[in-house]
Amino acid sequence: MAHKQDHGTSCCCCLFGILWKILVALIVPVGLAILIFWLVVQPRSFKFHVTEADLTQFDFYTNNNTLHYNMVLNFTAQASAFYEDARFANYDMVTHMNSFRQYKKITSPMSAVFSGQKLLMLNNEQASKLNQDKSDGVYDIYVKLNFRIRFRLGDSISRHLKPKVKCHLKVPSSKSGTFTLFQTTKCSVHF
């Protein structure tokens, strides 16, 4: 006795098989293209390090709630990018750097000077922390750096990106009399 085949399920299985083969035939080349593009471009993360910090003044005067400060930061940036607008801000002051192009596998040294005075209202906990830092001769300082950059791949240039670099520094005061050296600090980068 011969088996009777149901032509409805046979067509459905055949159609499903054809669609599956088409889907695989599309996914594999697209996946290979993405892998080849990634291998050619080899995206690397930004690397920012503060290599040196010189804090010559960091004095808070309680009679007028004014912080007087003077700090020089030397830092390095490693990424293949075109820096169009680098700004180093401390509330009211913005320092601009000239635009420059950074090539692959090059580390560019940069400097920024933070100097001035700022009216601050400190609560008891903050004043206590500042006094502790002063007696230790090492200050906890948070620095934010803002850049405007573009990437280049061949002749094409990306849109402007504005990464934010945040650094938590432990900066020894040069006038504290201690021989504490500044430790190179890696900064976090957020886009």
Nearest Cα neighbor of 70 from 110, 114, 111, 112 is 114
Query: Residue 131: pLDDT above 70?
Result: yes
Confidence band for 35, pLDDT divided at 50, 70 and 90? confident
pLDDT of residue 85: 47
Residue 169 CB contacts under 8 Å (≥ 6 apart), including other chains = 50, 53, 140, 141, 142, 143, 182, 185
Mean pLDDT score across all residues of the chain: 79
Query: Residue 41: pLDDT above 90?
Result: no
What does the pLDDT look like over 75-99, one tens digit per residue? 887 765 545 444 444 444 445 555 6
pLDDT of residue 88: 44
Ranked by mean pLDDT, the top range of 1-5, 80-84, 116-120, 148-152 is 116-120
pLDDT of residue 27: 94
| Cα gap 82→99, rounded to integer Å | 7
Q: What string of DSSP letters covers 51-116?
A: EEEEEEEEEEETTTTEEEEEEEEEEEEESSEEEEEEEEEETTEEEEE--EEE-TT-EEEEEEEEEE
pTM: 0.65
Locate 43 and state its tokens: 């995206």
Name residue, tokens 């090539």: 103
Query: Residue 125: pLDDT above 90?
Result: yes
